[in-house]
Amino acid sequence: MAGFRLEVPRAALVITDPQSVERNHTVENIERLLQAAKRASMAVAISPLMDRVGLPIALDAPEQHGADFLPAFKPYFVDGRTLVASAHKAYGPERDDLAKRLRGAGVSQVVLAGMSANLCVESHLRALLESGFEVAVVEDATAAAALDEGDGYQAALVNFRYIADALWSTDEALRQI
């Protein structure tokens, strides 16, 4: 993991399921990453989650679908430059849509953050790696549910350490961007 260096011109910040989660100061850390990525003219992509009735929870045209972004994120996403992947129904990106959009923007490296660490973020990590991207996960810009039977966030961190090209804090990611 120590050898991974971000090259901003060929990198993108990818946010899964941009919803509100309190743990780890996730919303604040995602916003800090978005600010830095936009300042650096780094590509930004979102992979929204589809709700139970088949509508994406966050869309580039929310007024048409009754869904909306978390207000703190809206200025970063509804800017005409953010790549919006097809909404995913399960945990990983819908088919190869996200990878195609990223490749179309000249991206080969991804800084990954969002919800939920042990489900959507981990599934996106695996799919992006299998598609040939280098991926750094921002550990404190993601979160997951904790149940009596186990903590999804802690489980995800173990897997991130095994499979990601890098595992960074938000501060480490900001230094790279």
> CATH number of the domain that 151 lies in?
3.40.50.850
Contact 47, 93 (CB under 8 A): yes
Domain count of the fold of the chain: 1
pTM of the model: 0.85
Residue 1 is assigned to a structural domain of this protein: no
Residue 2 is assigned to a structural domain of this protein: no
Q: From edge to edge, which strands make up the β-sheet containing 11-16? A: 83-84, 43-47, 11-16, 109-115, 134-143, 166-168
Residue 3 is assigned to a structural domain of this protein: no
Q: What is the pLDDT of residues 77-132, one digit of tens each?
A: 888 899 988 876 666 676 788 999 999 999 999 999 998 888 889 999 999 999 99
Residue 39 is assigned to a structural domain of this protein: yes
Please state, in angstroms and rounded to a whole number, the distance separating the CA atoms of residues 151 and 165. 23
Nearest to 134 by CA among 175, 157, 168, 158: 168
Longest CA–CA separation in the chain, Å:
44
| Residue 21 structural domain | 8-176
